[in-house]
């Protein structure tokens, strides 16, 4: 019974709903220029090999996309989207940052 409980705890993971990074553009749109935005989250607590507490981790792509759209006045969406992820260590955890770039449209 203890083995099953421990295995259940170790094999469960945090999850979130799917997020469309770049929804389908309308048939007629106007290109406004390059857009770029980023969003970060962290995995923290304990030593680097044991980071397990997510902090704003699930929403980082959605945040990056929103920041990219907001970086160009009048933009409503992006096309030709690329997503880049970087991470770095910060004493008791790791930060995971996503950068979204694309062409802003309206």
In terms of Cβ atoms closer than 10 Å to its own Cβ (0-12, 13-18, 19+), residue 63 is middle
Report yes or no: 56 and 42 within 8 Å, Cβ to Cβ: yes
70: helix, strand or coil = helix
User: What local confidence, expressed as pLDDT, does residue 24 receive?
Assistant: 81
User: What local confidence, expressed as pLDDT, does residue 26 receive?
Assistant: 86
Strands (E), the chain: 31-44, 53-55, 77-89, 93-105
User: What local confidence, expressed as pLDDT, does residue 77 receive?
Assistant: 93
10: helix, strand or coil = helix
- Block means of pLDDT (10 residues each) for the chain, length 106 residues? 71 63 83 96 69 77 94 94 88 86 95
8: helix, strand or coil = helix
């Amino acid at each position: 019974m203890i083995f099953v409980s421990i295995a259940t705890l170790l094999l469960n993971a945090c999850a979130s709903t799917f997020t469309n990074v770049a929804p389908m553009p309308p048939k007629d749109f106007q290109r406004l220029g390059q857009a770029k935005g980023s969003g970060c989250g962290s995995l923290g607590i304990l030593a680097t090999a044991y980071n397990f507490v997510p902090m704003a981790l699930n929403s980082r792509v959605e945040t990056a996309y929103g920041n990219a759209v907001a970086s160009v006045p009048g933009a409503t969406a992006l096309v030709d989207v690329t997503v880049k992820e970087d991470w770095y260590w910060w004493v008791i955890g790791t930060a995971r940052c996503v950068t979204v770039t694309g062409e802003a449209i309206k």
